Structure 1
Amino acid sequence: MKDKLQKIGLVLGSAFLTLAFIEFLLAIPVYYFVKGNGNTFYSRPHLHWLFEEDPVLGFKAAPNLKKKNPPPPGLPNAPRRKMWFDLETDNNGFRYNDHLYGRKPPDEIRIFSLGGSTTFGAESPNKMTYPQQLEDLIHDPKIRVINAGVGGYRSIHLLKYYQKVIRNFEPDIITIYSGWNDFEDFIASYWEPKNPHGHALKSQFELAKIPFGNFSLVWGAGKLYYSFKGYNRTVSVGVDVDLQQKYLRKARSQVWQNEHRDNIQELISVAKADGVIPVLIIFPSPQFENASSEVKSYADQDINMAGNWDAFVIALRHIRSNLRVLAEENGIPLIDVNNSFEKLNNDYKAKFNLFVDRQHLTPKGNTVIAETMLDPIRNIIKQRKLRILNRS
């Protein structure tokens, strides 16, 4: 009996030492190269510090964040996305440097910029996001432009975010920058119709809840599990033919297109019922119609298109068409920001330099957005002021 117990102890001890050794070997790359580096796109599985789970919204931006570091050096080609080096959120989770209270002064105009990661602008300092640049260009202390973008939000999130949060701050105008995440989330297995809890950050929240998740073995196994389930929405490096065909099929699907259109329509209706002016944004992208093979090949290298240029052109065509129809049917303003970027199609390398990848913008790209929006927004502000005068 004693010998048997000794053998069991020896086996268990050996197993423990083996696991400890593997844990030590894994801990170095996992913690030093992955978990310790929150500035790269590929270290996404631990970004729950940037967000909070929410029973209605699925998730939201965390309040009172403050990261101030020198900007890291950029890279010549994708992924050149460097994030979260200069980032602040207020006590409401908005990426806004000033104090914002629920009760609005009577002479103040509030514009809320709704959108996903491109609006939040983690690649830029707070002052260089397009909402903040737009506020600075308007240069009126009584007009606020609040960055209410949340990375990963698609149209269902924008609708619920407005209903639960934004309307409490008495908005006068909301700008709606939406569509990209509706398409890309639809490709992943976590997507469910009208469900804000199936989102791009789902696996990150789940990984954070795993018991003993700080051990690299447990964390790595969890990450592998969610990867097999198709929960990780990441940008692949290089051309994957199977994934390329999947993107093309999904881009043509009416399912995500109809959901996006329905959610934006409901958001428009709810906002108008509140007396708010909704403004649709035709958002910019590096992709454009009828590009040559030379352009697409360079895009694979420079902005990491991974062979999916044509799929995104198809998806963007549907998004923009739906937004134009919605604006016309509802009699609301539409600002075509993409038109300013399309002027650079013949100089595509210069155009790509306004983006850090196939979607997100550099600070200079945000400047182009803000400058393009300036005059239309000024006219919409005038409309809003007239409405207020007519009511008084």
Structure 2
Amino acid sequence: MSVTRKLFYSLLTLSLFFLAIEGTARVLWRRLEARAFEERRERGAAVLRNDAVNYLREPSGIYGYALRPHAQAGAVYINGQGFHQRDEIPLARRPGFLRVICLGESTTFGSSVDNNYPAYLRRILESNGRGFTGYEVINAGVPGWVSDQIALRAEHELAAYKPDAVILYVGWNDFQSYNPLAAPPAVSYFEHAYGGSKWKQYAASWLKSVALLSALYHSRRPDPELSPGYTPGSGGNPPEKCYRFLLASLDQIAASFRLANPNVKIFVCTLVGRWPHGPPEEWAHIPPVWWMKQGNIGPGQAAEFVRRLNDRLRAFARSRGLPLIDLAAAFENLDRSRLLWDWAHMYEDGYELMAWNLSSAMRKAGVVQGEPSPREAELIAKYQH
């Protein structure tokens, strides 16, 4: 047998061997995935059984739970796509329309279908925007979600809408979930609450055999992000470790949208907190974050923890080359005790002022044309501290 034929048969044998391994890996992957989705759905159902507003939500094998399409309660309305708005947004792009997706938690969802910053942003774009025949703004906020769930929805649903711009007002529930006074988290809150497996983080790999081998390899190595010698107060849980799951989720969100539309503009927002504004008697009636109560943290100290998280968000945007909308700085000199009714959720004027800041940032980034409105200056003057 010639050398060429020997080489050919050797390569053929190796190829068949690899195909057999990859085929087996894909079967195993599907079984693992089906089992993980079923566990996640069951855990989501258990969470909803103890939820006072579970009539707005339903279990999900991907997210744990999701908003229930067509659910309605008072001034809250979920459309058929699971968005907090009345209008349905077609998946296919309409010529001449600007499309914006707003991602976040309850602070994006808002208090009613008309009182949330995505709704205000749409009205502002329709009245002040130029250069488009129409404006579509999707409110993809889901109360209670952490950044892992938002990243999953971006991958599985939202990226397919191929927006022109994405607003990331994300992080409040991660802020609540991870205790900066304790050791760095070993697993994300989402994985802890709804189940998860190391192999899932390699799902982006086309070769499932490689994905499973990578998961096996990394499962046997200590996590370099964790500090084994950590003691409270030692400085071993800085923001980049405390919020590492949030930062990883933001990367995943950006990657999902860019894969669908390489020209998308992704805006990272800092978070607006009320702390420390307001008299002590008001704070006595506002439930604190669990780890603040545990650590006897007051409003002044709480504001410092929010500042640290916002500094990480600023650094993240800068390192990734993403435009930053520094809402925390925009609200810094305003009376936030009159703009927010607790430490994160806003009254109507607060959400409207947020939307004006978002539209200004989009205009400066060249996403949309238009002129400043005296309404924004009016709101700033009204709440100047």
Q: Contact 1:303 / 1:355 at 8 angstroms: preserved in 2?
A: no
Question: Is 1:331 the equivalent of 2:359?
Answer: no
Q: Contact 1:186 / 1:250 at 8 angstroms: preserved in 2?
A: no
SS of the aligned residue for 1:351 comes to coil
Q: Contact 1:138 / 1:378 at 8 angstroms: preserved in 2?
A: no
Q: How far apart in 2 are the matches of 1:135 and 1:355?
A: 21
Q: How far apart in 2 are the matches of 1:99 and 1:170?
A: 15
SS of the aligned residue for 2:114 comes to helix
Q: Contact 1:251 / 1:312 at 8 angstroms: preserved in 2?
A: no
How far the C-alpha of 1:304 sits from its partner, in A, is 4.3
Instruction: Report the AA paired with residue 286 of structure 1.
Output: R
Instruction: Report the AA paired with residue 284 of structure 1.
Output: V
CA offsets 1:143-199 (integer angstroms, 9 cap, x no match): 2111110011221111111001101222221111112211212359xx972463545
In structure 2, relative to structure 1, the CA distance for the partners of 1:298 and 1:372 (3 Å cut) is farther
In structure 2, relative to structure 1, the CA distance for the partners of 1:127 and 1:249 (3 Å cut) is farther
Aligned pair partner of 1:286 in 274, 282, 286: 274
After TM superposition, list the pairs within 5 Å mapping 1:48-197 onto structure 2: 48-68=54-74, 86-121=75-110, 123=111, 125-139=112-126, 142-187=134-179, 193-194=187-188, 196=190
How far the C-alpha of 1:252 sits from its partner, in A, is 5.3
SS of the aligned residue for 1:279 comes to strand
Q: Contact 1:257 / 1:318 at 8 angstroms: preserved in 2?
A: no
In structure 2, relative to structure 1, the CA distance for the partners of 1:323 and 1:364 (3 Å cut) is same
Partner of 1:262: 248
After TM superposition, list the pairs within 5 Å mapping 1:28-67 onto structure 2: 45-67=51-73
Q: How far apart in 1 are the matches of 2:118 and 2:233?
A: 31
SS of the aligned residue for 1:167 comes to helix
Give the total of aligned pairs. Answer: 266
Q: How far apart in 2 are the matches of 1:359 and 1:90?
A: 25
Alignment identity in percent? 21
Aligned pair partner of 1:301 in 284, 288, 305: 284
How far the C-alpha of 1:253 sits from its partner, in A, is 6.4
Q: CA RMSD in A?
A: 3.1
Q: Contact 2:79 / 2:85 at 8 angstroms: preserved in 1?
A: yes
Instruction: Report the AA paired with residue 360 of structure 1.
Output: H
Q: How far apart in 2 are the matches of 1:98 and 1:280?
A: 26
Q: Contact 2:240 / 2:312 at 8 angstroms: preserved in 1?
A: no
Q: Contact 2:273 / 2:344 at 8 angstroms: preserved in 1?
A: yes
Query: Please, what TM-score do these two structures have when normalized by structure 1?
Result: 0.60
CA offsets 1:197-218 (integer angstroms, 9 cap, x no match): 545xx7xxxxxxxxxxxxxxxx
In structure 2, relative to structure 1, the CA distance for the partners of 1:164 and 1:311 (3 Å cut) is farther
In structure 2, relative to structure 1, the CA distance for the partners of 1:372 and 1:248 (3 Å cut) is farther
Q: How far apart in 2 are the matches of 1:56 and 1:108?
A: 30
Unaligned runs of 5+ in 1: 1-42, 69-85, 203-245, 345-349, 385-392
Question: Is 1:365 the equivalent of 2:350?
Answer: yes
In structure 2, relative to structure 1, the CA distance for the partners of 1:250 and 1:361 (3 Å cut) is farther
CA offsets 1:193-247 (integer angstroms, 9 cap, x no match): 2463545xx7xxxxxxxxxxxxxxxxxxxxxxxxxxxxxxxxxxxxxxxxxxx99
SS of the aligned residue for 2:353 comes to helix
Q: How far apart in 2 are the matches of 1:248 and 1:65?
A: 47
In structure 2, relative to structure 1, the CA distance for the partners of 1:168 and 1:253 (3 Å cut) is closer
In structure 2, relative to structure 1, the CA distance for the partners of 1:198 and 1:101 (3 Å cut) is farther
How far the C-alpha of 1:340 sits from its partner, in A, is 2.7
Q: How far apart in 2 are the matches of 1:180 and 1:277?
A: 22
SS of the aligned residue for 1:359 comes to coil
Partner of 1:9: none
How far the C-alpha of 1:339 sits from its partner, in A, is 2.1
Aligned pair partner of 1:320 in 306, 310, 319: 310
How far the C-alpha of 1:254 sits from its partner, in A, is 5.3
In structure 2, relative to structure 1, the CA distance for the partners of 1:66 and 1:249 (3 Å cut) is farther
SS of the aligned residue for 1:283 comes to coil
SS of the aligned residue for 1:153 comes to coil
Unaligned runs of 5+ in 2: 1-48, 195-231, 370-385
Q: How far apart in 2 are the matches of 1:324 and 1:266?
A: 17
SS of the aligned residue for 2:273 comes to coil
In structure 2, relative to structure 1, the CA distance for the partners of 1:144 and 1:380 (3 Å cut) is farther
Q: How far apart in 1 are the matches of 2:364 and 2:61?
A: 38
SS of the aligned residue for 1:60 comes to strand
SS of the aligned residue for 1:128 comes to coil
Q: How far apart in 1 are the matches of 2:77 and 2:312?
A: 34
Q: How far apart in 2 are the matches of 1:304 and 1:271?
A: 36
Partner of 1:388: none
Instruction: Report the AA paired with residue 58 of structure 1.
Output: G
After TM superposition, list the pairs within 5 Å mapping 1:7-22 onto structure 2: none
Q: Contact 2:78 / 2:84 at 8 angstroms: preserved in 1?
A: yes
In structure 2, relative to structure 1, the CA distance for the partners of 1:52 and 1:251 (3 Å cut) is farther
Q: How far apart in 2 are the matches of 1:248 and 1:55?
A: 39
Query: Please, what TM-score do these two structures have when normalized by structure 2?
Result: 0.62
SS of the aligned residue for 2:280 comes to helix
